[in-house]
Chains A and B, each alone.
Chain A
Amino acid sequence: MNNFWSVTASLLEGFWVTCAIFAVTLVLALPLGLIIAFGAMSSFKPVKAVVKVFIWVIRGTPLMLQLLVVYYGPALIFHWDLMPRFIATIVAFVINYACYFAEIYRGGIESISKGQREAGQVLGMTKTQIFFKVILLQVVKRIVPPMSNEIITLVKDTSLARIILVEELLKAAQEFTAWGLMWPLFYTGVFYLLFVGILTLVFRGIEKKLDYFRS
């Protein structure tokens, strides 16, 4: 029993780091994704091309590779000091997730019928007003399901930070294998499942809240 509590305490510490990676990534990647989405939809061709290639590279290579590049790259190429592991994780995660979010935003924005924008135009609205007052909420409603998928994936992807030795949940559990303990690894599943369970409820709530209109 003593064993159980010490494992729990140690996993909780790791879980705290997991939650931090998750939350900070989300807070930064959600708005950055919108900026990237606007870049991908830009009518200025060079910007559009650069952003599209960037998205292709980020989505086309493993997140684990990106983590390694962000962490070791500056040190190996420019001989800079290694940055804190947590910062490297956040940088890699934010860039990676912002690209995925950007594509979801773009799909959502482009799926809104041209007529909505035109209706705003003939009613004398500015571009900003059309985006925020007419388009945005309709986009939000449409992207809740794909966004919840992506955000749930993020919960589990945080475990990749283990590759650059960030003390997150999985690494905390793995350390017990040295003592011959397997069950802490299974125990992490409880944390992930609970976390994802709560998120699922939150997303269901959001979907319900936006259920009052159809677009």
Chain B
Amino acid sequence: MSYLELVNFNKKFGQTEVLKGIDLKVEKGEVVTVIGSSGSGKTTLLRCINFLERPDSGRMSLDGEILFDGDGIKNEKETELREKRLNFGLVFQSFNLFPQYNVIKNVTLAPTLLLGTEVKLLKKSLKAEGLQGKEIKERIKQYKEKRKTEIENDGIKLLEKTGLTEKAKAFPCELSGGQQQRVAIARALALKPKVLCFDEPTSALDPELTGEVLKVIKSLKGDDRTMIIVTHEMGFAKGVSDKVVFMSGGVIEEEGTPEEIFDNPKSAKLKAFLLNIGDKEGKESV
């Protein structure tokens, strides 16, 4: 069984079928890019994986655990949904940083809020151990302080990794698009997701800023980090992927290694897509 498995994902918006029986397997530590023209269902697929949309049918399992099966998700409690969501991270096309917080707070906010849940669990287990009220309080205080420092340090490390150390105290509105997207990546990493997803991370950026973001994403490869990247940057897809998936009209038309997809396309649709993109890129460079 693969690390992440999607079986027969279907999704309709009204009458429009956006996903038609998607099957996808991703191994641990693998980088999978999803390419295809606009409207082919790439973004919807990513949103379904992140529980932002509910597939009408299908099954998803991660690391042997079934996260979603058929329409069982409909009666799910918010807490369960949140727990499942935390397996995944998502970097949006439009960054969606929290404008009222500075860079470091953007990165540490979610882990800090999750600390509340951790403390609740700890309290329960301490009570079960039969500790006294005063001692419980003391232990929780220690735990909180320890975790807060850890979260802060993690945040600082992540900013180093994304090259934003000097911008820690800056607000999103003071940053370039590329910097904002790098903060968004650090923010997603802060929760240590098992699978990190990118939804066209450079599509909202000026061409001269895409490089710095792609470089950061590339640097994340390895360390057993599983990533699914929806992108229009073919050169990047070729360079970073272990596997490339080509989507068209809500189905996976073709998948394979970057060499297979880019150098030896089999289906007519993929050939046409690559030709079309090549033309555009050619024209742009002129």
Contacts and interface: CB of A to CB of B under 8 A. Distances in A.
B193 to A, nearest CB: 9
A121 B85 contact: yes
B273 interface: no
A79 interface: no
A123 B110 contact: yes
B99 A124 contact: no
A214 B99 CA distance: 6
B268 interface: no
Given A123-B187, A125-B113, A137 B52 contact: no
A134 interface: yes
B92 A123 contact: no
Contact of B85 (A122, A129, A214): A122
A110 B121 CA distance: 35
A138 B94 CA distance: 17
Given A115-B92, A121-B52, A122-B90, A138 B100 contact: yes
A118 interface: yes
A5 interface: no
Contacts, number: 61
Contact of A115 (B78, B96, B171): B96
Nearest to B190: A123
Nearest to B197: A122
A158 B90 CA distance: 51
A118 B100 contact: no
A215 interface: yes
A47 to B, nearest CB: 20
Given A129-B113, A213-B172, A122 B50 contact: yes
B52 A213 contact: no
A212 B114 contact: no
Interface in B82-105: 82-83, 85-86, 88-90, 92, 94, 96-100
B114 A124 contact: yes
A117 B202 CA distance: 21
Given A118-B52, A122-B85, A123-B187, A113 B173 contact: no
B129 to A, nearest CB: 27
A124 B191 contact: yes
Contacts of A138: 99-100
B109 interface: yes
Contacts of A127: 78
B105 to A, nearest CB: 10
Most buried by A among B51, B82, B114, B172: B82
Contacts of A118: 52, 92, 96
Q: Size class of B's contact patch?
A: 20 to 34
Nearest to B83: A124
Contacts of A121: 51-52, 85
Contacts of A212: 171
Nearest to B114: A124
A133 interface: yes
Interface in A50-90: none
A119 interface: yes
A214 B173 contact: yes
Contacts of B173: 213-214
A126 interface: yes
Contacts of A149: none
Contacts of B92: 115, 118-119
A214 to B, nearest CB: 4
Nearest to A215: B99
Contact of B98 (A116, A122, A124, A126): A116
A115 B82 CA distance: 17
Nearest to A130: B113
Interface of B: 50-52, 78, 82-83, 85-86, 88-90, 92, 94, 96-100, 109-110, 113-114, 171-173, 187-188, 191
Given A124-B110, A212-B171, A213-B99, 17 more contacts: A113-B94, A113-B96, A119-B92, A121-B51, A121-B85, A122-B50, A122-B188, A123-B109, A124-B82, A124-B86, A124-B113, A124-B114, A125-B110, A126-B82, A137-B100, A214-B173, A215-B100
13 contacts: A122-B52, A122-B90, A122-B188, A123-B109, A123-B187, A124-B83, A124-B191, A125-B113, A127-B78, A133-B113, A134-B98, A137-B100, A212-B171
The 5 closest A-B pairs by CB, nearest first: A123-B110, A119-B96, A115-B96, A214-B173, A215-B99
